[in-house]
């Protein structure tokens, strides 16, 4: 049996119908949610629905690749207690790649 949020992943997506995000952000977020459901990962990844990215911008800026813009969907991954490393992944392809890598 798997426990809630046991992967240490946090997924940030736009709230349903929130106009503060682009159509691409909404579509990619929906595709990630569909992937989670298809692979029974919904309870293993903590999901946060945001109304505005600005209130969390500082957090995203710290853990994302410096060359990437901040947008949703955004996956935050915590790598172990020893290193205490957080990394951020942006967009459908990056997020799905990370999920496939970590969940076998």
The answer as to whether 4 is a domain residue is no
Q: Structurally, how many domains does the chain consist of?
A: 1
pLDDT digits (tens, 9 = 90+) for 13-33: 999 988 999 999 999 999 999
The answer as to whether 15 is a domain residue is yes
Query: Can you say whether residue 79 is alpha, beta or left, with left for phi > 0 and alpha for psi between -120 and 50 degrees?
Result: beta
Residue 4: Cβ within 10 Å count: 9
The answer as to whether 1 is a domain residue is no
The answer as to whether 24 is a domain residue is yes
The answer as to whether 86 is a domain residue is yes
pLDDT digits (tens, 9 = 90+) for 63-103: 887 788 889 999 998 776 655 677 889 999 999 999 998 87
The answer as to whether 2 is a domain residue is no
Q: Whole domain around residue 38: which residue ranges?
A: 9-102
The answer as to whether 52 is a domain residue is yes
Average pLDDT over residues 46-71: 87
Give the residues across from 45 on adjacent strands: 9
């Amino acid at each position: 049996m798997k426990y809630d949020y046991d992967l240490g992943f946090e997924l940030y997506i736009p709230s349903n119908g929130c106009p503060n995000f682009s159509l691409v952000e909404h579509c990619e977020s929906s595709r990630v949610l569909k992937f989670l459901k298809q692979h029974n990962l919904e309870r293993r990844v903590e999901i946060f629905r945001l109304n505005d990215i600005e209130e969390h911008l500082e957090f995203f800026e710290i853990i994302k690749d410096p060359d990437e813009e901040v947008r949703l969907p955004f996956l935050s991954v915590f790598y172990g207690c020893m290193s205490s490393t957080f990394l951020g992944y942006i967009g459908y392809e990056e997020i799905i790649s990370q999920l496939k890598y970590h969940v076998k």
